[in-house]
Amino acid sequence: MFVWICVYVVKYLGSDMEEFHGRTLHDEDSVQNLPVLPHIALILIPGQTLPLQLFRPQEVSMFRNLIGQDRTFAVLAHSPDASGAEIKAEFGTTAEIYAFREEQEYGIETVKIKAVGRQRFRVHEIRTQADGIRQAKVQILPERILPDPLCALQLLPRLHIHTPQTKPSQTTPPQDRCSQIYRQKKIHCASMTSWPPWVYALYDSKTLMSRVKKQLHEWDENLKDESLPTNPTDFSYRVAACLPIDDALRMQLLKIGSAIQRLRCELDIMDRCTSLCCKQCQDTEITSKNEIFSLSLYGPMAAYVNPHGYVHETLTVYKANNLNLIGRPSTLHSWFPGYAWTIAQCRTCGSHMGWKFSAVKKDLSPPRFWGLTRSALLPTIPQGDEGVEGSRLLCL
C-alpha cells in the first residue's frame, strides 16, 4: 500500500551520495575523545538514522576531516530541566557517517550526511579547541546481557527426557509453531521451581519481543517480522527510536543498560500512553495511539532534516485534532515525494506541531496524513482509578 513512498522517502537528500561500508565500535568501558555535533538538540538512539545538512564553515571542515578518519562523532543528549532551561549533558550516543556528499551552491559549501547511532556513552569532560570545535571525553557504556533465569534447568539431561511433546496443529504457521514449542518448554522448566511461569515471562526476552511486535503490528499492518532485528538489544533500540515520547522518557530509555529492562519499559509506555497532547499547553489532545501508522522504512517516526539544517523527528498519523493550518500547501523540499506540506499549529496556544501532508497525485495512498514533530508532543496516561496522573511508568 505504501511501497512507492517508502522507496523514495530516504532519498530526499539525494541518491548520489558517497557510501561507506563497515562499522566502528569502541570497546565497552573504554574512554574516547570525539568531536561533538554542534547546534543539534537531539537524543539519538543507537541504530537510529540521523540525516544532516550542514553549511557553517566550521561544521563543513569538521566533517570533511572525519571522513578521512573513523567517521565517528558524539551526539550529546541534551534535555531541559523543569524550568525549560537546558542542562549540561551527561549522556549521549556515538554516531557513524555511512553516506556523505559535498556540494557548492552560490559560493557556499554544504555537506549532506547520513549517520547512524552506534553506542551509548557517559560524558566525562567537554573542552573547546582553538578552532571552536568541541571535543568530548566520553566513556562507552556497556550493554548488560542478562542470562535466562531458567538456563540452568534447561541444561539438565533429565529435563529433556520428561519435557512434554505436544505437537502443534499442521495449520499453525511455522513461526507460531516455534513460539508454541518455546512456551511449552518454558512452562515446564518453571514448573520445577517455586515460581509460576508468568513471573519468568516478565523477564524473558523472546516473550517481551513477541508482545512488543503485537503492538507494532497495530501501527503497521504491513510490517514484516523479518524486517525487525532478531537481537533483543537491537530490537529494543529500534522500538525506542520510533516511540512518540518526550525527552524525559527518551532519556530514561537511553540510560538503561539492559535490553530486557528496556523492553519492559517500552511495553509499559505502549500499553498506557495512549494519548498525545500539545507539550506547551498540555491539556490539548492532538492525536491518539490508534491513529499512528508507518510510512517510512524506519517505522512510524523518523528523523528528517530541512534545507536550513534543522532536524525534526516526525511521527506520522492518519488523523489529528485541534490544529490550525498556516499558509498554502507547498511541495518544495517535501520529505515525502508526491505530497504537499502545510504548517500546523496548536489551536489553543499556537505552538508549531508539525505539518499536514496532502497528496498531489490521485494514485497515492493515504490521500492525506499528518507529520507531528516529537518535540511538540507530550505522551499522556489517561485518568484512572489511581488518580489524576495514574501510577508511575516503569521508566521513572
Q: Tell me: do 134 and 170 sit in the same domain.
A: no
Any domain includes 269:
no
Do residue 112 and residue 72 come from a single domain? Answer: yes
Supply the pLDDT for residue 135: 95
32 and 74 part of one domain = yes
Kindly state whether residue 108 falls inside one of the protein's structural domains: yes
* Per-residue pLDDT tens listing for the chain (396 residues): 333 344 334 566 666 788 888 888 999 999 999 999 988 888 999 999 999 999 899 999 999 999 989 999 999 997 655 555 556 889 999 999 999 999 887 788 999 999 999 999 999 999 999 988 999 999 999 999 877 765 655 544 544 444 455 555 555 555 555 555 555 555 556 556 655 666 667 788 888 999 999 888 887 777 788 889 999 999 999 999 999 998 989 999 999 999 999 999 999 999 888 899 999 988 899 999 889 998 877 788 989 998 888 999 999 999 999 999 999 999 999 999 999 999 999 999 999 999 999 999 888 989 999 999 999 999 987 665 444 454 556 655
Contact 372, 320 (CB under 8 A): yes
Give the pLDDT of residue 156.
Answer: 45
Domain membership of residue 232 (yes or no) is: no
The interaxial angle of helices 259-272 and 205-219, nearest 10 deg, is 40
The answer to whether residue 191 sits within a structural domain is: yes
Q: Is residue 260 part of a domain?
A: no
The span from the CA of 242 to the CA of 279, in Å, is 18
For strand 91-105 and strand 108-128, is the pairing parallel, antiparallel, or unpaired?
Answer: antiparallel
The answer to the question of residue 235 being in a domain is: no
pTM above threshold 0.85: no
Look up the domain containing 312 and give its range: 285-380
Q: Within this chain, do residues 180 and 133 fall inside the same structural domain, yes or no?
A: no
- The residue assigned the cell 490544529 is 323
Give the end of a domain, one of 163, 181, 202. 202
Domain membership of residue 390 (yes or no) is no
Q: Domain count of the chain?
A: 3
Instruction: Say yes or no: 23 and 115 in one domain.
Output: yes
Please tell me the distance from the alpha carbon of residue 215 to that of residue 254, in angstroms, as a whole number: 21
In a domain, 242, yes or no: no
Question: Is 50 in the same domain as 173?
Answer: no
- 371: CB partners within 8 A, 6+ apart: 314, 315, 316, 335, 336, 341, 354, 355, 356, 357
108 and 198 share a domain?
no
What pLDDT score was predicted for residue 145?
85
Write the CB contacts of 157 (distance below 8 Å, at least 6 apart in sequence): none
Spatial separation of the C-alpha atoms in residues 99 and 103, rounded to whole Å: 14
Residues 6+ apart with CB under 8 A from 119: 25, 26, 46, 93, 94, 140, 141
CATH number of the CATH domain containing 57? 2.30.130.40
Quick one: pLDDT at residue 373?
96
